[in-house]
Every structure is written in C-alpha cells, then in structure tokens.
Amino acid sequence: MEKFLRPRQRIAAHLSTQSFIVGDRPTAPWLGASSDWAISWRDEPLETLLLAGLLAGLAWAPFWLGGDRPMAWGVNGVWFPSLVVVYELGLLARGRKHPLALKRFAVPVGLFCGVVLWIGVQISTLLAPPAFVHPIWAMASDVLGVQLNGAISVNPQASALALMRLLTDASVLWLAIQLCRAPRRAMLLIESLVAIFTAYSAYGLLLSAFYGGAIPFFDAPDTGRFVRSTFVNRNNFATYAGLGLIAAAALTLRLFRHEVPNLEGIGSYRLSRLIEVTGRRGLRLVAACLVILVALLGTVSRGGILATGLGMFALFVLSFAPQRRGGREQIETILFVSIALLAGFLMFGDRIVGRISEVGLTDASRLAVDVIIAHSLLDAPFLGFGYGTFADVFPMYRDQSISPYGVWDMAHNSYLEVLQGLGLIFGGALIAALALLAWKCLHAAVARRGNATAAIVAASACLLVGAHAMVDFSLQIEAVTLTFMAMLGAGLAQSESSRSVSSD
C-alpha cells in the first residue's frame, strides 16, 4: 500500500514505523550498548557473563604478539576451555538444553572428532602399529645406540601442543555458537569485536608513526615502518584487520539498510536520511571502517589486502541479496560505503600499489615451498608426519629451489601444511569440516530474510581467511584463529530462524 501514497504521506508512514527494534535490526538511538548488556543480563545473567568472558579473552588474544608465543597459548588453552566447562555445568545445574543441538552439526563434528582421535594415535607410542611408526625413530635409535619408543609423529611434543591449540579453537567456536543463539547477543559480540579491531588498528598506526613499527615492551623482530600493531608479522595483522573491516562494514550497511527507507521515487529523501544517519549514529562505524582500512593498507600485505577485497565483495553481494532488499533500490547505501572505502584507499594505498608494481602478486619462493611440501606428501600420504610438525619435517626436504638463508618454521599455505601433518584422509577431513560450516553460513546469508548479519559476516570472513590461507599462515596465529572462530560461531548460531526448534 505504501507505494501508492503521495511522497509526504509515504515519508510520514515510514517515520511512524521507526521504533524500538531488537535482534538483527538496530535499536532505537536512545539505547546504547550498555542498555543491550543490561537487558541481556536481566534475561540470561550466566550467558551474559560468559559472553563478557569470551570477549575479554578475545581482547587479550592479540596483545601478546598476536598470541604467537607459548605463554599466550597456555593462557588461552586454560581460559577458553574453562568458559566452556562453566557453561556446560551451568546448563546441567539448571536442567537446560543447548540452544543449538550438537546434531545440527553432526557431520562436521564427526569429522573433527575423527581428526582429534587420529592426532592422539599419531602422538601415542603405544597405539600406533610398528609398521606405522615413522622411520626417523629407527634412524635416531641407531645413531644414539638407544632403543627409542617411536610414533607416527616425528615430534609428538609438537603434535600435542598443536592439538591443545586446536581444541582451544574448537572451544571458542562451540561457546560462540551457544551464546549467540539469541540475536541480541550475536550482535553484541560483533559490535564488541569491532571495538577491539578498531583499538588494535589505531594502536598499530600509533606504533608505526612514533615507534617505527617497533612493539614496546616486547622482543619482536624489526619489520620497518609497516603497520603490524601487536603482531610479529604484518601479514598476520592484515588478516586480523581484514576481519575487522568486514565486521565494521557489515554493521554500517546494516544500520543504513534499516534506517534509510526503501521509498521508491524519493531519492532525495533517502539521500538526506543517509547523511543524517551518518552524522547521528553512523559516524563511529564509518570512523571505525576508515581506521581499520588505513591500518590494513599500512601493512602493505599483498595477500591480506587482496583477500580482504574478496571478503568485502562477498559482504556487499550478500548484504543486498534479493530475499532481503533489492539492490537497485538501495544503491545509495552501497555507493556511500564504497566511496568512503575507496577514498581511504586512494589516500593511503599508494604503498601497496607501489609494492605490487615492484614485485608483482606472486612470490617465487613460496611457490617453491608449496612444491616441496607437495612432494613430501608422497612419502606419507595417509599417515602424515604428525600434526604441527612442519618445522621438523621441512628441513628434510628442503632443496636448492629456495634460498639457503632463512628458517621456514611455517608453510605459507595452511592447506598443504595440514595435509602434510595429518595425511590426506584426516587432513582433508579437517578442511572439509570447516568448509561445511562455512557453507552453512553462506546458505543462511543468502536464504534468511531477518537476523542475517551474523551469517553474512561469517560467510565473508570465511572467504577472506580461506583465500589468505593459500598464501600465508595467519590461521596458525591464535589471535586470528580465535577471533575468526568467534565470528564463525555467531554466524552458525544465527544460521537458522530463532522460531525453529533447534535445542537438544
């Protein structure tokens, strides 16, 4: 009926519908994040407390050199699983069910459990049949003159540590899935993460400007004046900042999509509303996008910036899927956000453009390492060399195709490294489990009409990290992986309508 009204009547009709909206839609301007937390605390105090604990852990994760140190691994390995234990005991004590049943993810969970059991077999000196034990143990026994208890893994201690980190990641994913089943908490998580992303991005810009990229109070190798915030490697921070840009842009689009009316034929009013919303409620979100974008460009990471571009493209496409809103009728929103991001790129993107012009998009040494890893798979195609043992295995196969200088303690291709460590069967199972979860988020991002922002963010983030994992090791940095798991969990939690029965 609205389209048949005269323009002023249609505008009045739109304004009369602007009231308090919950869930995926923005709340009224007089309510802030503190009010959302208060409402959540009133409804579910334990879940709200655990969500605050989860966010506190995610805020801490990048602080200690991006979480790339044993100290950080230990803290994370205790903190996040402890939150899961408290959550499960809380459900048991109150006689409640999981908001999202485990059977909803039966196939990915089954694949993951199979991988965990296989890592246990790789580590064990008792479970593995003698024929499965890696030959390096017999060679070491001959050299030392002592009979060693061998295992499938060439370094069981490294595999055990990698398993602990894998379980830490899984605990964050499971907790985010359960806590973010309520749309309000899902949005609280994403909004809080944007604040964390912005803070670390701003800190990275300050370090680059005043400390030449050095990290005060931490012993980290010098990388020049590139922006890397608290991360050892600027490429890893690029992935982290890319996740932040996707989350911030998604919230900006969500705000504009709901605040700017879809009134056909009244373009001037829509434009005025767009400007008004930007100045009144969207200013902080737009500022967050620009701060994160400038920090991302300051990394001068070719892979990280291009992967973020893919993620942003997916975000724009999914945000204006036909099921929710026609793209032609809301073209002003996409143009506004795109122009803001493009302006930031034009002002601060000269270094990345110059780097691509100078060295191109490919890296010959990384391609050579990929070939070496692929050849190593032929020696242990099914058993693998042990999860997390790349640093021990690679020197055995290193050849003259790469420079003899430098240490490769991580492959710049997470897929090949996983396959080398776990073998083709179980390595493929771990990759498939994540791919199925990403597909579930993508399907929800396309199909859902409401409360789709979390799924859109998760699907776009999956494309970003999935693309960058082919050329770098950002997913092996805990700050990146834990944050990504939280975003993925929120997307999975909102992958089904809250009206459907999904508890166990």
Domain boundaries, the chain: 61-493
pLDDT at 261: 54
pLDDT tens digits along 387-441: 999 999 999 998 888 887 777 888 889 999 999 999 999 999 999 999 999 999 9
Q: How confident is the model over 48-63, as a mean pLDDT?
A: 96
* Dihedral over Cα of 355, 358, 360, 363: its sign: negative
DSSP-H helix ranges across 145-233: 156-179, 183-210
Report residue 135 as tokens. Answer: 């030959």
Distances in whole angstroms, Cα of residue 408 to Cα of each of 129, 364, 369: 31, 14, 9
Return mean pLDDT, the chain: 83
Give the pTM: 0.87
Computed on alpha carbons and rounded to an integer, the radius of gyration of the chain in Å comes to: 24
pLDDT tens digits along 327-370: 444 555 666 566 666 666 556 555 555 555 555 555 667 788 88
- Cα distance between residue 305 and residue 293, in whole Å: 9
Phi/psi at 29 (nearest 5 deg)? -65, -20
With beta carbons less than 8 A apart as the criterion, state whether 166 and 434 touch: no
Count, residues in the chain: 504
Question: In 3D, which of 237, 238, 248, 253 has the Cα closest to residue 193?
Answer: 248
- Cα distance between residue 241 and residue 194, in whole Å: 10
- Cα distance between residue 66 and residue 362, in whole Å: 25
Question: In 3D, which of 292, 294, 283 has the Cα closest to residue 255?
Answer: 283
Question: In 3D, which of 287, 197, 265, 227 has the Cα closest to residue 486?
Answer: 197
Phi/psi at 27 (nearest 5 deg)? -80, 170
pLDDT at 11: 43
With beta carbons less than 8 A apart as the criterion, state whether 155 and 392 touch: yes
With beta carbons less than 8 A apart as the criterion, state whether 265 and 174 touch: no
Whether pLDDT at 463 is above 70? yes
